[in-house]
Amino acid sequence: MQHDSPSDLPLAGFTVVELSDSASAPFAGHVLAGLGAEVWKVERPGGDSARGWGPSQWKGCGAAFHAINRGKRSICLDIKDPVQLATLHDLIERHADVFLHNLRPGSSGQYRLDPESLRARKPSLVVCEVGAYGHVGPLNTLPGYDPLMQAFSGIMMLTGEDGQAPVRAGVSIVDFGTGMWAVIGIVSALLRRERRKIGATVNSSLLETAIAWMSIGIANYAADGDPGGRHGSGVAFIVPHRAYEAADGYAIISAANDRLFARLAEALGHPEWGTDPKFATNAGRLANRQEIDGLIGQVMKRHTREYWQKHFDGFGLPCASVQTTAELYAHEQTRALGILGKTSEDEIDLVGVPLSFDRQRPPPLDSAPEVGQDNERLRQLLQAG
């Protein structure tokens, strides 16, 4: 079920000017568009870097660009040109509720696009700066990308198999997470503006997001000085909570407390594990991780993922197959959620906003724009006053 009109969406009526490139800030703009905001994406001549990302292509540019830039207008401006920069300033000052950017650290001031300059002229404006290492500190002027922050934050030292090389998460968790934090900050600032009639400066960064994802690891280290290690598909603090090999692939089992473990032991045909002093408590299972993992693994290999899913479902045990993208795409649960959608038959299915309002999901966004396709619309808007 979907909203009949974008005007029903929470951010309908708000205008966002997004000067961005790559993934983090564009993802934030994409979410804001999905929530109903009108988003003007400002691209440099040649367009956003993501247009050239591969290998998958759609309609002349990287499929990745389509994934995080639908529902936006595109205007092409060279902000190094004083006349075109003035046009951008005009758009912001006259029409924007939010200015979102991920300009190279330290460069916004030279274009008078820093929060102080913009909010001096328009106090109600919400300015959101998406950075790499953060807006303060000795590294705040350095550039950065998702894998750098997964490395710097320690995420990669906790990811992968013990004794093997560090592994980056296979999706851009830091980029997308930073975009989410930016949206949370922007929406919070707009809410405050409704009460106090003032704008705000919102700062979000890749490193701060990565540090937030390390919250439990940092708490554990602060408590006992243990920096943690790699546990493959598992985690440091719960056993069993990992993937086991079934007859046709892998399945994750999460017995996150002693009650669930006893139920798992029964489901696997070994109820005695649930009362064995070595395994009955999570502390015991942590101390005997290799042994209990081996015992569970021996049983899991006897049947397929589908068998175990149905079997464990009957015991109320958390379990999930380790799926490929193709399996996720085709799964009836994915389809039932209505989170994949397209606006016309000549489009591809893309992921929508992972939120529903009054049990209705926002409708699929329009296709990602071509570079500068709305320049004429911008000219008319500014001429109209």
> What would the pLDDT profile of 26-43 be if each residue is shown by its tens digit?
999 999 999 999 999 999
> 38 and 111: one domain?
yes
Query: Is the residue at 230 inside a domain?
Result: no
**Mean pLDDT on 84-99:** 97
241-246 and 200-205 strand pairing: unpaired
**CA separation, residue 7 to residues 186, 196, 333, 339 (Å):** 19, 25, 28, 20
> 153 and 84: one domain?
yes
> 31 and 163: one domain?
yes
**Mean pLDDT on 58-72:** 92
Tell me which residue of 325, 352, 330 sits closest to 341, measured CA to CA. Answer: 352
Query: Is the residue at 63 inside a domain?
Result: yes
Contact present, 60 and 356 (Cβ < 8 Å): no
Catalytic residue numbers, as ranges? 175
- Looking at residue 113, its pLDDT comes to 97
> 55 and 188: one domain?
yes
Helices 206-213 and 173-196: crossing angle in degrees, nearest 10, is: 110
Q: How many domains does the chain have?
A: 2
> 187 and 92: one domain?
yes
- Strand positions, DSSP E, the chain: 15-19, 38-43, 57-58, 61-62, 72-76, 98-101, 126-131, 200-205, 241-246, 249-254, 319-321, 340-341, 350-351
pLDDT higher than 50, residue 3? no
pLDDT higher than 90, residue 320? yes
Tell me which residue of 382, 383, 384 sits closest to 89, measured CA to CA. Answer: 382
Contact present, 273 and 284 (Cβ < 8 Å): no
> 202 and 256: one domain?
no
Give the single-character DSSP code of 363: P
pLDDT higher than 80, residue 203? yes
pLDDT higher than 50, residue 49? yes
Can you tell me whether residue 361 is helix, strand or coil? strand
pLDDT higher than 80, residue 368? yes
pLDDT higher than 90, residue 80? yes
- Looking at residue 5, its pLDDT comes to 55
d(CA 19, CA 297): 50
Q: Give one DSSP letter per residue of 276-343, joined into a string.
A: -TTTSSHHHHHHTHHHHHHHHHHHHTTS-HHHHHHHHHHHT--EEE---HHHHHH-HHHHHHT-EE-S
Confidence at 4, pLDDT banded by 50, 70, 90: very low
The CATH number of residue 259's host domain is 3.30.1540.10
Measure the CA dihedral 159/161/165/170, to 10°. -40
> 257 and 179: one domain?
no
> 288 and 193: one domain?
no
Instruction: Report the sign of the C-alpha dihedral through residues 102, 103, 104, 109, in that order.
Output: negative
- Looking at residue 164, its pLDDT comes to 92
pLDDT higher than 70, residue 303? yes
d(CA 141, CA 134): 8
Confidence at 236, pLDDT banded by 50, 70, 90: confident
Confidence at 2, pLDDT banded by 50, 70, 90: very low
CB-based contacts of 290, cutoff 8 Å, min separation 6 = none
**Which residue range(s) make up the domain with 205?**
6-213+357-362+369-384
d(CA 31, CA 352): 9
> 86 and 132: one domain?
yes
Query: Is the residue at 233 inside a domain?
Result: no
Measure the CA dihedral 3/8/9/10, to 10°. -140
Query: Is the residue at 310 inside a domain?
Result: yes
pLDDT higher than 50, residue 322? yes
> 45 and 89: one domain?
yes
pLDDT higher than 70, residue 14? yes
d(CA 218, CA 210): 11
**Mean pLDDT on 328-351:** 91
Query: Is the residue at 1 inside a domain?
Result: no
The CATH number of residue 376's host domain is 3.40.50.10540
Confidence at 104, pLDDT banded by 50, 70, 90: confident
pLDDT higher than 90, residue 328? yes
Judged by average pLDDT, the poorest of 70-74, 107-111, 133-137, 344-348 is 344-348
- Looking at residue 58, its pLDDT comes to 87
Query: Is the residue at 28 inside a domain?
Result: yes
Query: Is the residue at 348 inside a domain?
Result: no
> 35 and 161: one domain?
yes
Q: pLDDT > 90: what percent of the chain? A: 88
- Looking at residue 15, its pLDDT comes to 98
Query: Is the residue at 290 inside a domain?
Result: yes
**Mean pLDDT on 161-185:** 95
Can you tell me whether residue 176 is helix, strand or coil? helix
> 119 and 206: one domain?
yes
pTM for the predicted model, two decimal places: 0.91
Contact present, 105 and 139 (Cβ < 8 Å): no
Mean pLDDT of the chain: 94
Tell me which residue of 33, 67, 60 sits closest to 350, measured CA to CA. Answer: 67
